[in-house]
């Protein structure tokens, strides 16, 4: 079993103390959600796990890897793959070309073709638009493409940074359904969201992150009916 373990992590940007003794775990097979408002430290956490931001204190390990020191490409090759906030797809490249970009760390050509087929099967909208430029897609389709690109990399632990951002409620539902299916097919998921309502519907467990600390945790169903969580994160 490869458990992601974050313990007592501090991250600074100069004088900004972004993460303060942050601790949480994600077990294999789970969907775990980090809930938090804008500026809470969610993206910093993701970038720290991907090796793009380094902790000043604390430990971060996954599957025998020390994520606090491992190189970003080593982390991706080991199967920890992030879908960054704001999607960052390439707008002048086609859908298919964007998916192929997910394969640059993958050596096995057969595996790549199989994964791209799986992505098209999971998200038929992308298959219909495979020759269209990324920039012509709707926001929801761009999010699907960003997830698809990560899937082509072959993740075992998928990090999703606010996939619902800027999407209409119906589209949020579709994206959450896709994430749920990806998880059912065997990929562990760490999801960070401001949209607590949508995220708690698919998560097994969740943590609340407030100014760089985890302030509450529990099974998603329990947090969804906790009066403090309802007031602070579910709009009363
Ligand atoms: N590159 C950076 N330089 C300085 N401060 C940053 C940088 N990135 C984030 N921060 C600060 O760190 C804190 C956490 O930011 P972030 O992780 O982006 O939060 P979230 O993703 O939850 O909105 C905020 O106070 C933010 O202003
Ligand atoms: Mg963020």
Q: Is the pLDDT of residue 192 over 90?
A: yes
How far is Cα 6 from Cα 34, in angstroms, rounded to an integer? 13
Question: Can you give the pLDDT at residue 228?
Answer: 87
Q: Is 155 helix (H, G, I), strand (E, B) or coil?
A: coil
- Alpha carbon nearest to ligand 1 atom 16, residue: 41
Q: Would you call 141 exposed, middle or buried from its count of C-beta atoms within 10 A (0-12, 13-18, 19+)?
A: buried
Q: Are 71 and 51 contacting, i.e. CB atoms less than 8 angstroms apart?
A: yes
User: What is the pLDDT averaged over residues 184-212?
Assistant: 96
Q: What is the pLDDT of residues 89-139, one digit of tens each?
A: 999 999 999 999 988 877 888 889 999 999 999 999 999 999 999 999 999
Strand ranges (E), the chain:
4-13, 16-26, 31-35, 57-62, 65-66, 80-83, 157-161, 188-193, 205-210, 213-219
CA distances from 5 to 9, 29, 60 (A): 10, 14, 6
| pTM beyond 0.75, yes or no | yes
Query: 113: Cβ below 6 Å to ligand 1?
Result: no
Mutate to test the pocket of ligand 1, among 41, 45, 53, 161 (most ligand atoms within 8 A of CB): 41
Q: How many CA atoms lie within 13 A of 192 on its CB side?
A: 25
Q: What is the pLDDT of residues 78-97, one digit of tens each?
A: 999 999 998 889 999 999 99
Angle at 98 between CA 95 and CA 100, to 5 degrees: 110
Question: Can you give the pLDDT at residue 108?
Answer: 85
What ligand is nearest to the CA atom of residue 162?
2
Q: Are 31 and 189 contacting, i.e. CB atoms less than 8 angstroms apart?
A: yes
- The atom number, within ligand 1, closest to the CA of 44 reads 17
Q: Domains along the chain?
A: 4-89+139-233 (3.40.50.300)
Residue 40: name the closest of 193, 198, 197, 229 by CA. 193
């Amino acid at each position: 079993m490869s458990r992601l373990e974050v313990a007592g992590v501090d991250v600074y940007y100069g004088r900004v103390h972004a993460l303060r003794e942050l601790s949480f775990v994600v077990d294999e097979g789970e969907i775990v959600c980090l809930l938090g408002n804008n500026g809470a430290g969610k993206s910093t956490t993701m970038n720290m796990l991907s090796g793009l931001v380094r902790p000043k204190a604390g430990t971060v390990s996954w599957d025998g890897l020390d994520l606090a020191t491992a190189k970003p490409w080593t982390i991706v090759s080991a199967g920890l793959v992030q879908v960054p906030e704001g999607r960052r797809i390439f707008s002048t490249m086609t859908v298919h070309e964007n998916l192929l970009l997910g394969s640059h760390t993958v050596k096995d050509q057969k595996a790549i073709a199989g994964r791209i087929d799986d992505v098209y099967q999971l998200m038929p909208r992308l298959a219909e638009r495979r020759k269209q430029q990324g920039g012509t897609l709707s926001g929801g389709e761009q999010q699907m493409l960003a997830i698809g690109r990560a899937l082509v990399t072959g993740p075992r632990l998928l990090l999703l940074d606010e996939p619902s951002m800027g999407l209409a409620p119906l589209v949020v539902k579709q994206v959450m359904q896709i994430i749920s299916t990806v998880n059912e097919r065997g990929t562990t998921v760490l999801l960070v969201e401001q949209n607590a309502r949508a995220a708690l519907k698919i998560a097994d467990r969740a943590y609340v992150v407030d100014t760089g600390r985890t302030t509450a945790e529990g099974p998603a169903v329990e947090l969804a009916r906790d009066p403090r969580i309802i007031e602070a994160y579910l709009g009363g």
